[in-house]
Structure 1
Amino acid sequence: MAGRRRWSTEEILDTATELLRTGDAESFSVRKLAAALGTDSSSLYRHFRNKTELMRAVADRILLAALADHRPEGDWKQRITALALRLREAFGQQPQLAAVWGRYASGGAGSRLAMEEVLQALRASGLPEEQIPARYHRIVVLLSALIAGEAGIGGLTAEEYDQGMEHFRVGVLGADPERFPALAHFAREIRPLGVDRRAAFEEILAAHLAQIEAAIR
């Protein structure tokens, strides 16, 4: 009787990425991955010690692909902004995996590339060396939160998105002015979370970088 096929690490990650892209991190399991590959869980543990290690490898793979041909250009703010937009685009194409990145941070090759670029940009900014680690941490927390939040909306079906927009219009435009006076006043100017996300992303990041620049001055 022929033995079961031996899957490579890359093939395992390919299948895991597809399962996470079409499902979610909560329902994902090594057992489901093994079933999709037509093997048993024990064979996968030869490649990854546990689910957490596997998830970290998947998240890092997205970073590695996003930065594969990245070439730093411009001043320090332009470098960080370009990196941020690359990550936004990468996870925007696979929104279910953004939450994986936010939860399962790694020290893999892709993660190290992103860390190196942010740290080098901050060094070029003129920040005192002792302030760079804390500033780096704040930037990464901001980016992961923005990208994960945007991906949550990007993962909605067209029907779910339309339902949400209708619910927003009814709830906001119909707000009781006595109970919600400020909301009723600004209702027609308030925009839903799903609208104009890229501009909001860039403005929030630009404001944070401007704060760093002001501290340098």
Structure 2
Amino acid sequence: MSKPPVTPARRKRVGTQLTPDAIIEASLCIAARGSADAFTVRRLGEELGADPTAIYRHFRDKDELLLSVADRTLGEVLDSIPDGLDWKGRLRALAAASLAVALKYPVVSSTMASRTTRRANEFRIVELILGAVTEAGLDGAEAAVHYRMVGDSLLAYVGQRAAYLLFDPDVRAGDESSWSREYRLVDAQGFPNITRLSAQLAEVTHDQIFHARVEALITAIERRAEAVRGA
């Protein structure tokens, strides 16, 4: 005797056997496809083959889900950082991994640029940065301030890059071509610096900007540590 076909209703009943991990993984799958609706219960229900309301059995609301998903992405960042690096190497590796994960899950990173997960992996990243600035020679309020400088700067930059990926490709193309079009056509008398450096402005890459920002953060920590030691 043949088995009865699996109807949508039957699939949905099976799909309601959810776990928090399954919901988080489904959110990440949607986010990795560049979708901006990774945290709508309707979209998650479709991804999981489940009644969307089943998600609320495991997460109080969409914000709790977002924070949990974001903290999972921070775990991916940490997993990419090799052991045995000095403080500068750890910060460089943290920056590179943060950017890579942000570009992998743009909707998560763009949303979390001004948030805090208050969860285990975020605590581990804070510990990593504090350890780095302490190894550099800072302590107390100086260590706290420079940790925030590093953390907030990385969040701002990777969040900006992630948010940009969510724009329509035509919008991005217009923005990217502006350096070789509109900026080259400005009035030379009114904008002498733009005119003088228009060719160089058009050649700047995202990688160059990111490298310069990370190295500037490291230099700022080094100089402050030198000043503290010399005080």
**Which residue number in structure 2 is paired with residue 126 of structure 1?**
137
* 1:212 to 1:166, Cα distance in 2 relative to 1, 3 A: closer
- The aligned residue for residue 25 of structure 2 is 14
Instruction: Tell me how far apart the structure 1 counterparts of residues 21 and 76 of structure 2 sit (CA, whole Å).
Output: 13
The letter for the 2-side match of 1:108 is R
User: Who is 2:185 aligned against?
Assistant: 174
Contact kept? 2:35, 2:107, Cα under 8 Å? yes
- Secondary structure at the residue paired with 1:189? helix
Look up the SS of the partner of 1:208 in the other structure. helix
- Residue 196 of structure 1 deviates from its aligned partner by 2.1
Moved more, 103-112 or 130-139: 103-112
Distance 1:68 1:74 in 2: 14
Find the aligned partners of 1:105 and 1:128 in 2 and give their Cα distance.
23
- TM-score using structure 1 length: 0.84
Q: Find out whether 1:4 has 2:13 as its counterpart.
A: yes
For the 8 Å contact 1:119–1:136, the answer to whether it is kept is yes
Structure 1 residues 68 and 181, CA gap change in structure 2 (3 angstroms): closer
How far off is 1:156 after superposition? Answer: 5.6
- Compare 156-165 and 131-140 and name the one that shifted more: 156-165
1:59 alignment counterpart: 70
The 2-side partners of 1:181 and 1:70 are apart by 44
2:36 match: 24
Kept in 1: contact 2:87–2:135 (CA 8 A): yes
- Find the aligned partners of 2:117 and 2:35 in 1 and give their Cα distance: 21
Code of the residue aligned with 1:24 in structure 2: it is A
Cα distance in 2 for partners of 1:125, 1:114 equals: 17
Give the stretch that moved more between structures: 140-149 or 159-168. Answer: 159-168
Gaps of 5+ in 2: 1-8, 227-231
3-state SS of paired residue (1:183) = helix
Q: CA deviation at 1:82?
A: 1.4
**1:33 corresponds to which letter in structure 2?**
L
- The match for 2:151 among 104, 123, 140 is 140
TM-superposition CA deviations, 1:120-153 (whole Å, max 9, x none): 1122112122321221111111001111122234
Task: Specify every segment of 5 or more residues in structure 1 that has no aligned partner in the other structure, as ranges.
Answer: none
Q: Are the counterparts in 2 of residues 98 and 151 from structure 1 also a CA contact under 8 Å?
A: yes
Q: Taking structure 1 as reference, are residues 51 and 93 closer, same or farther at Cα in structure 2, changes over 3 Å only?
A: same
Once the two structures are TM-superposed, the CA of residue 81 in structure 1 deviates from its matched residue by 1.4
The one-letter amino acid paired with 2:223 is A
TM superposition shift of 1:57: 1.0
Task: Say whether 1:201 aligns with 2:210.
Answer: yes
C-alpha distance in 2, partners of 1:51/1:202? 35
Do the aligned partners of 1:76 and 1:125 also contact (CA within 8 Å) in 2?
yes
What residue number does 1:40 align with?
A: 51
Larger radius of gyration: 2
* 1:60–1:101 contact (8 Å) kept in structure 2: no
Aligned to 2:113: 102
What TM-score comes out, normalization by structure 2 length?
A: 0.80
